[in-house]
Amino acid sequence: MTASSTQTTPASAPVVTLHRGSLPLLISIPHLGTRIPADIAATMTPVAQRTDDCDWHLDRLYAFARRMGASILWPSYARYVIDLNRPPDGANLYPGQDTTGLLPVDTFDKEPLYREGHLPTDAEVARRREAYWKPYHEALQGELAALKANHGKVLLWEAHSIRSHVPRFFEGRLPDFNFGTSNGASAAAGLGEELAAVVERHGGYSAVANGRFKGGYITRQYGQPAQGVHAVQLELSQITYMEEQMPYAYDETLAAKVEPLLEKLLTTALERVGSA
């Protein structure tokens, strides 16, 4: 049996939605949301409404995982409202490197998100953390605890995607599959490298483990293999399944080639976690 639950704001907009499955697998998609509340949008520039830096269509790409029996967690609101994959104190996860923060103030292309004089105050940061960040992490923690109680071990799969070229963050073209396990600390030893090898054997795609993307806050915070929670982040290059320019259309032909490989990766990771 599966079930879905939501947590909502007073205006009844879903802040977070959780689909509960039967496997010891939780797929978290923290950057799927595209909504921006009207009061926040009023302080922002027109570019913010495009939500360019969304992890587009990952719910559609991972639809097979629901059929497999995975639990899936996602928000309605955009990372421009608050980034659910950043520490609550806003600390930089990649010291010395340029990143966007807990409340991003510009896009990946450094276009300003807020109108002059309307940057969020400390009080606004705290308000959004309570209204949007906290419910997602409470739902994530609760489902991980439930799955661990039922199965003993659980795989947390952090599903992300990004344009193949973002000069702000990396040079040249990003590898197609970027696995992050916090340099091996968030999952069974060697799991990231094993998953990259699955991609390489499949052919047609490039892969790397713990390269530019080693896993964000969620992977690092909740991945505790010694306690039975194994976390893997996959930063998938969007060029593998969609158009990277507006209107950011889903490419069914490309996606149909990627989906079986994603299923193989999830199956491989589940098997490895089960034997860890």
Question: How far apart are the C-alpha atoms of 102 and 133, rounded to whole Å?
Answer: 9
Q: Which residues pair with 186 in a beta bridge?
A: none
* Helix residue ranges per DSSP H, the chain: 38-41, 58-61, 63-68, 122-128, 134-151, 191-202, 217-222, 252-275
Nearest CA to 133 among 51, 14, 15? 15
Residue 10 pLDDT class (50, 70, 90 cuts): very low
Average pLDDT over residues 41-69: 97
The reported pLDDT for the residue numbered 5 is 58
The reported pLDDT for the residue numbered 181 is 98
The reported pLDDT for the residue numbered 4 is 54
How distant is the alpha carbon of residue 140 from its chain centre?
12
User: φ and ψ at 31, to 5 degrees?
Assistant: -110, 25
DSSP of 203-230: -SS-EEESSS----HHHHHH-BGGGTEE
Average pLDDT over residues 35-58: 96
CA torsion 150-155-161-165 (nearest 10°) is 170
pTM for this prediction: 0.93
Share of the chain above pLDDT 70, in %: 95
Q: What would the pLDDT profile of 85-110 be if each residue is shown by its tens digit?
A: 999 987 777 776 777 889 999 999 99
User: φ and ψ at 28, to 5 degrees?
Assistant: -105, 130
Q: What would the pLDDT profile of 176-186 be if each residue is shown by its tens digit?
A: 999 999 999 99
Angstrom CA distances, 42 to 76, 79, 132, stand at 18, 16, 18
Residue 247 has pLDDT above 60, yes or no: yes
Number of domains forming the structure of the chain: 1
Average pLDDT over residues 187-216: 96
CB contact set of 194 (below 8 Å; sequence gap of 6+): 268, 272
The reported pLDDT for the residue numbered 6 is 58
The reported pLDDT for the residue numbered 264 is 98
| Residue 70: domain span | 3-275
Question: How far apart are the C-alpha atoms of 18 and 13, rounded to whole Å?
Answer: 14
Least confident of 17-26, 30-39, 96-105, 126-135: 96-105
Average pLDDT over residues 228-243: 98
Looking at residue 69, which CATH number applies to its domain?
3.40.630.40
Average pLDDT over residues 212-235: 96
The reported pLDDT for the residue numbered 2 is 42
Average pLDDT over residues 231-242: 98
Least confident of 11-25, 73-87, 136-150: 11-25
The reported pLDDT for the residue numbered 99 is 78
Nearest CA to 141 among 229, 260, 252, 200? 229
Share of the chain above pLDDT 90, in %: 87
The reported pLDDT for the residue numbered 97 is 75
Residue 176 identity: D
Nearest CA to 145 among 264, 18, 266? 18
What average pLDDT is seen over the chain? 93
The reported pLDDT for the residue numbered 98 is 72
DSSP class of 99: -
Q: What would the pLDDT profile of 108-159 be if each residue is shown by its tens digit?
A: 999 999 999 999 999 999 999 999 999 999 999 999 999 999 999 999 999 9
Residue 1 has pLDDT above 50, yes or no: no
Sequence length of the chain is 276
DSSP of 132-174: IIHHHHHHHHHHHHHHHHHHS-EEEEEEEEE-S--TTT-SSPP
